[in-house]
Amino acid sequence: MAEVIVIGAGPAGASAALFLAKAGKETLVLDSNASMTKRAWIENHYGAKDISGPDLLKIGREQAEKFGAKFIEEKVTHIDANGGSTVTVKTESGRGYEASHIILATGALTDLANATGLELKEGREPRIKTVIATDGQGRTSVPRIWAAGTAAGVSVHTIITAGDGAKVAIELISEINGERYVDHDVLK
């Protein structure tokens, strides 16, 4: 059982996985390989002069894997909050995975959130009709299920979704640890 399952490996999901894994949380990322970032050319991402979406996704995954995050290409089809201390997800292949928490970072897709019974609201971005309602920290209407990135209503720009994934991970790590978590490395 993982401590946290992240559903989606776009900028929000991979960024959340990076922060979670670096904080020592056992992190599993389930990704359907359908990120809209795969089709992007990016010239407005701070710290990168320009980068292709596929390269950005590859680097983000490598960063998270460096700290122990595990990535599996699987499409999640069902989430069960179990009414208790764990959340179970089922995938298209029939596999099941269990974790203490999950983060939905499914980009423009909210079908899974809707089927799970999460509260949704109208999106503000062009072509993003519905998003997952959160408390601003990433918590959804169902305990142990968090949401980040475009799925949670932030702008589709990669720098913003990546930042939101990191923010939600920090909030989740802080909740798990019982104290505010800060991750700052310094030059030696």
Residue-wise pLDDT tens digits, 129-159: 999 999 999 999 999 999 999 999 999 999 9
Pairing of β 76-80 and β 70-73:
unpaired
**Distance (Å, rounded) from C-alpha 102 to C-alpha 88?**
9
Report pTM: 0.95
**Structural domain spans, the chain:** 2-177
Q: Residues 58-89: pLDDT tens digits?
A: 999 999 999 999 999 999 999 999 887 899 99
CATH of domain 2-177: 3.50.50.60
Phi, psi of 9 (to 5 degrees): -120, 30
